Amino acid sequence: MGERLNIISQSAVRWAAFLTVMGLAGCELPPLEAEDPPVEEMSSEDDAEGDGLVGVASVFVFDEDDDPEIARLPFVETELLARILPGAERDELEAAYGALGVTVSEELPEIQTTALLVDRDRLLAVAESLAGNPLFESVHKSYVYDPEQLPDDSSFGRQDHFAPIGVDEAWEVTTGSEDMIIAILDTGVEPDHPDLEERLLDGWNSHDKNGDSADVLGHGTAVAGSAAAVSDNNAGVAGVTWDNPILPVRVSDDDGRAASKDIAAGIIWAVDKGARVINVSFAPLGSDRTVLAAARFARNSGALVFISTGNAGRSFRSRETSDAVFVGALEESDTLASFSNTGPFVTLVAPGAGIYTTKPGGSYGRVSGTSFSSPIVAGVAALVWSVNPDFRPATIENLLMDTAADLGADGRDKEFGFGRIDAAAAVAEALETLEEEDTKSPSVDIIKPADRSRVSGIVNVSVGAFDSGELADVVLFVDGEPFATDTAEPFKFAISTRKLTNGTHTLTATATDLSGNASSSDRVRVTVSGGRSGGSSGGDSGGSQSTSNASGTAGVDTIPPGVEIEFPADGSRVLSSVGVQAIVSDDVELGSVEWLVDGVRVETVGLSGTSRTINFLWNAREASIGRHTITIRVLDGAGNESALAVSLLKE
């Protein structure tokens, strides 16, 4: 956070204890043939003044909300999704949760994410504290999404969407595979629909955490039929694939709306059950880092996730990503549907207007929306994969993109992505494709901390890794022993020095790609203070630090606490107010912390536990122009003391 700021003003300080909530508008699109139902615990424009926090207006923005279209979305007001850095100790996490008064509601260890229950009026305050804590990589809202369907359009004929994408020709080569599962993450699937029931596997409900995957809205039933309805049975409709099993995963509440956490949990569950193709017809998910982390987990596990771009007809800033395949919608004339969202994240397009498919009550009907473009592409992927089940996800994705019909500007563009899916061309190309063996190892380096650094408290380790293919993971080693594993960029870790002995330790990192090639970084040496066996506390944050030990004998705590100022950087310029954040730790028990401005004590706070993130707001409006020193003095329960200072320039 501190790297972004040079001149720090009151309006630019992100300190949660002084924030007020931003007003966010709810989704505008109706779910399946119904008006938007009221949703509990979601923000709206009416909430712009109402989070209960007092103080200056907030400029704190969740990373995803940098896109104003994402900032409009509703979210669960009593839940945060915290991404934990590999290596973070459970006792320190629990201490952080306890200090903030939050409780864990669900853990998703596959993507290093924990869902936290938070008081509604403290959501931003807690988010800001977590974002500044070195145990956490990032913190996110649990956004809420509508299923992406538009009202029926009776002007379209039945299943005429197959001809433009060459499905008939693809069927001459393959109709799918019984060994390749397609997971439908949606509002559920009608279990006794005549064109679906014989293909359905036992599913899951990630919202209610039970096996009830029946459809609560009808949307999921229509999506499932678009991808894989039973075909060649003289009844109903045909799916893109004829033979693939359907794994129904209900990720929505009873009103058909799905939260980030439940979508991510559904993806992880589907992967664990063997799904290779996973469809998610909710939007806009292009900036949802929790869902994309789950999609990356799926990809690393040998599966591909397909997601609808959404029906708002708006342009989003979401970036290109290899985590998932985002699919937009076409009209019958091969023009982009007016409702189809656009942006750099769009990968492919497919028919999405007047799709004739399965509907509730064993019936059939026409539906429109990117919700049905996405499962069509997912179905084509299943056809292509059936040609060679040993293909890697990247190979399947490349086949779909390389054979797509380019409809917009040359190459990838924000409206059509790589173009319209072409099932016939993709299947034909798969027959001619041989994957080259990947024998090239990744490159890997430890970026932070620097070699021969002195460290204390919580140390964040950053690793840079690159591979010509795709990375599987990065493992951090401490003194030659595996310490923690990270599976997604940016590769970062948290080391608690209180679990290490004082003195010199070595760090190395090993990166492995999806083909099993591995390489290791050069060694980085760090000197630990504040560890298990004594020694002086040390650090380098641009300020000055001093320590004093209480005298003692064997069995008496003589180790001073550790302290590290995380923000702001030494020498930062200040206009009015600035928040100072520090991490303090002790191997036994913290006692108290004092904040001094130019040597004068202005605040004292009692502490408990062994590791805390401490914030102090310095109101510099009345301070004189020139340089000032902010000092944090930390005492542990035995009276051992450490101090650290940062110099700030008031302008």
Alpha-carbon span 412 to 389, nearest angstrom: 27
66 noted as active-site residue: no
In the predicted structure, residue 3 carries a pLDDT above the cut 60: no
219 noted as active-site residue: yes
In the predicted structure, residue 350 carries a pLDDT above the cut 80: yes
DSSP string, 624-639: PSEEEEEEEEEEETT-
Eight-class DSSP state of 198 = G
Report, at the CATH architecture level, how domain 148-431 is classified. Answer: 3-Layer(aba) Sandwich (3.40)
- Cβ–Cβ contacts within 10 Å for residue 527, how many? 17
Per-residue confidence (pLDDT) for residue 17, from 0 to 100: 34
Question: Catalytic: which of 301, 371, 529, 572?
Answer: 371
The SS3 call for residue 379 is helix
In the predicted structure, residue 5 carries a pLDDT above the cut 50: no
Alpha-carbon span 604 to 596, nearest angstrom: 9
For residue 389, say if its preceding peptide bond is cis, omega within 30 degrees of 0.
Answer: no
The fraction of the chain above a pLDDT of 90, given in percent, is 54
Per-residue confidence (pLDDT) for residue 112, from 0 to 100: 94
Report, at the CATH architecture level, how domain 443-528 is classified. Answer: Sandwich (2.60)
pLDDT in tens, 231-285: 655 556 778 888 899 999 999 999 999 999 999 999 999 999 999 999 999 999 9
- Residues 587 and 573: beta-carbon distance below 8 Å: no
Per-residue confidence (pLDDT) for residue 160, from 0 to 100: 61
18-32, 410-424, 425-439, 625-639: range with highest mean pLDDT: 410-424
Alpha-carbon span 456 to 316, nearest angstrom: 42
Which tops the pLDDT comparison, 323 or 499? 323
Burial 304-325 (b: 16+ CB within 10 A, else e): bbbbbbbbbebebebeebebbb
For residue 344, say if its preceding peptide bond is cis, omega within 30 degrees of 0.
Answer: no
pLDDT in tens, 546-594: 444 443 344 567 788 888 887 788 888 877 677 888 888 888 888 888 8
pLDDT in tens, 608-646: 778 877 778 888 777 888 889 888 988 888 888 888 888
Alpha-carbon span 484 to 478, nearest angstrom: 9
In the predicted structure, residue 385 carries a pLDDT above the cut 90: yes
Alpha-carbon span 477 to 254, nearest angstrom: 46
Eight-class DSSP state of 489 = S
The CATH class, in words, for 545-650 is mainly beta
pTM, two decimal places: 0.73
List residues bridging with 577 in a β-sheet: 619
Lowest mean pLDDT among 70-84, 319-333, 532-546: 532-546
Beta-carbon-side half-sphere exposure of residue 476 (alpha carbons within 13 Å): 29
402 noted as active-site residue: no
pLDDT in tens, 515-524: 889 999 999 9
CA angle 608/611/614 to nearest 5° reads 85
Eight-class DSSP state of 279 = E
The SS3 call for residue 430 is helix
Alpha-carbon span 571 to 582, nearest angstrom: 16
Average pLDDT of the residues in 408-419: 93
Per-residue confidence (pLDDT) for residue 532, from 0 to 100: 74
pLDDT in tens, 299-346: 999 999 999 999 999 999 999 999 999 999 999 888 999 999 999 999
Average pLDDT of the residues in 413-420: 96
The fraction of the chain above a pLDDT of 70, given in percent, is 84
Per-residue confidence (pLDDT) for residue 529, from 0 to 100: 85
Per-residue confidence (pLDDT) for residue 12, from 0 to 100: 34
- Cβ–Cβ contacts within 10 Å for residue 548, how many? 13
One-letter amino acid at 233 equals N
**CATH (residue range 2-142):** 3.30.70.80
pLDDT in tens, 127-165: 999 999 999 999 999 999 988 655 443 333 355 666 678
How, if at all, do strands 275-280 and 304-308 pair?
Answer: parallel
Alpha-carbon span 256 to 262, nearest angstrom: 12
In the predicted structure, residue 535 carries a pLDDT above the cut 80: no
Alpha-carbon span 386 to 394, nearest angstrom: 15
- Quote the mean pLDDT of the chain: 83
Fold identical between 148-431 and 545-650?
A: no
Question: Catalytic: which of 193, 219, 521, 576?
Answer: 219
In the predicted structure, residue 43 carries a pLDDT above the cut 80: no
For the chain, the domains span 2-142, 148-431, 443-528, 545-650
Distance of CA 101 to CAs 97, 104, 116, 118, 130, Å? 6, 10, 10, 8, 12
Average pLDDT of the residues in 413-428: 96
Per-residue confidence (pLDDT) for residue 546, from 0 to 100: 44
Question: Catalytic: which of 186, 215, 467, 587?
Answer: 186
Which residues 6+ apart lie within 8 Å of 572 measured at CB? 2, 5, 6, 8, 578, 648, 649
Per-residue confidence (pLDDT) for residue 414, from 0 to 100: 96
For residue 449, say if its preceding peptide bond is cis, omega within 30 degrees of 0.
Answer: yes
Per-residue confidence (pLDDT) for residue 553, from 0 to 100: 41
Per-residue confidence (pLDDT) for residue 13, from 0 to 100: 33
Per-residue confidence (pLDDT) for residue 158, from 0 to 100: 52
